[in-house]
Structure 1
Amino acid sequence: MNRCQPDLIDQIRSASRLMVRELGFMQPRLAASSYPPSSVHTLVELGERGSLTAGELVELLGLEKSSVSRMVRKLIEAGEIEEFANADDARSKVLRLTAQGTNTLGEIEVFARRQVGNALGLLSGEQQQAVSQGIEHYGDALRVHRLGGEPSTQQRFSLVRGYRPGVIGRIAEMHAHYYAKHAEFGQPFESLVAADMAQLMGRLANPRNEVWAVLDSGRIVGSIAIDGEGENGEAILRCFILDPSAQGHGLGKRLLSEAISFCDEHRFSAVRLWTFKGLDVARKLYEDAGFVLETEQEGQQWGKLVVEQCFVRQGK
């Protein structure tokens, strides 16, 4: 274990107390909701993970079993979550959000993202990345101290925002490999993606345009971008891709959530994206995020005949 200077420990403790106060955790209700922090965290975790057992919530939240049981019962009675039989263990029930709970979570997410986004907006891009990575490592270390095991975040993924060296080339490379395998696209497609991304990266000075990347030990392994200069006040979702090494970790959902929240904050009239028929995993992510298939037609602008699809999510 690395030794830490006493003054650094005191600085982090002071900063932690300040964050707890400023984020509202000292209040009886959190994130402009009617629920205490533990209930809000439960809704957020269920939204992120899809479903959990009460036992998993006990470990995840670090609360007593009796406290979790009372909280879960209140959320069920309030119509926010529901329980159903656990196919893997008949002795326990699985919890998930109801339609009402999904709506409540949406309101919590909008509030929380605005709160954090406004604060981060006061920092430079370098400071924002330092905050993101520092909090991730610190939180993971606290979890390890409580539960045991080894820190994981140093080997895990981080999400960064804005241009960074290599992002244009990596976006083109990931698209080229993925679509060569799944749609037999070749050089025309890769060249078009590279040109489009270079053009979009040149317009990031406009605050209505943005790009996010997933990093794995500093290497770009995923991306998504919003082109906020579409027609009729619309935004265009672009370059949504994950390297195979980054799949299966919920990163696609996280990237899409970041982009959608950005669009909601900027109040675009709609968000539009183009894709191809047959990419069922991506389509489910789009539909879960509120996108609806508007049109589909055959096209070969990518160098091969495919069924192109246009999905649209109306603005909030």
Structure 2
Amino acid sequence: MATAKPHTPIHEMRAFNRFYTNLIGALDYSRHLYVPYTLTESRVLYELAHAPRTDAADLRSELSLDAGYLSRLLAKFERDGLVERAPSTADPRRQRITLTARGRDAAELLDERSRESVGSLLTDVPAADRARLASAMRTVREILEDGRGRGTRRERHESAADVTLREPGPGDLGWIVQRNAAVYAAEFGWNADYEGLVARIVADFAQDHDPHLERVWIAEFDGRPVGCVMCVRDEAPGTARLRLLLVEPAARGLGIGDRLVAACVEFARGVGYRELTLWTNDVLESARGIYQRHGFVLVAEKPHRSFGADLVGQDWLLPLHERPS
């Protein structure tokens, strides 16, 4: 009689890897997800479209690719009109890679196929379990990232120093809508209702806002937007509302969310608002941690069904008449 294998972390991880590899492989095969590109080519296109750094050296490090192989792949992309290569503005010794319009179209097509593939998988998951699934997967990623390390202390410090906050330029408001929709669909399975909400919020700001009392910040890293937040007037007199805090997944861990919230708080305090409020959902654990660090207090919460999911909405409040200790 065979002895049952103990369920050690190694055993569980290997079992999960087999299960997930088979699951994703079946989805990829049935939908020809990467055609006409290989999996590695698709990964490079995705990084070029979403990662804050696009130097060849950063791509090689992020994707653990051989330097010669990556060079040949980028040369192929350049011949096909997908990328352009030039010396980095920050360091001429490094080579910066940027997508052409054709390359961005290709990356968006692959991204759309991936969203549809994952969406088809989530259709078989009960709505009540989707938030739990997303939270569990995020926990796995965070634990393994912490264990492996996310670059040296010096590298993280230098990356954080490269982030700048600026006012939105042409196209940035549209970027806020597109990235909010894509990120929350990928991470929580939210449907187009959320994109519609974000589009209305952004359109209202674009069409009618008081620049002295309302602002938008774009976090920029290596010449590309990687985060955003808004401060707008609330219906209650003397109250401002923080809205649409977002940090790109590839740029998390650099303190960008903290800097965006700090900018919003300081602006609201500086122009004379008495309090700053916000509405969020309990599944957004990282964002809630940022709000707490800046002194926001949970004042109300209520279950609701929105964006195709069962959620718990939360109202948070920060008095602005004195600085938190």
TM score, norm. by length of structure 1: 0.49
Q: Which has the higher contact order (CA 8 A, sep 6+)?
A: 2
TM score, norm. by length of structure 2: 0.48
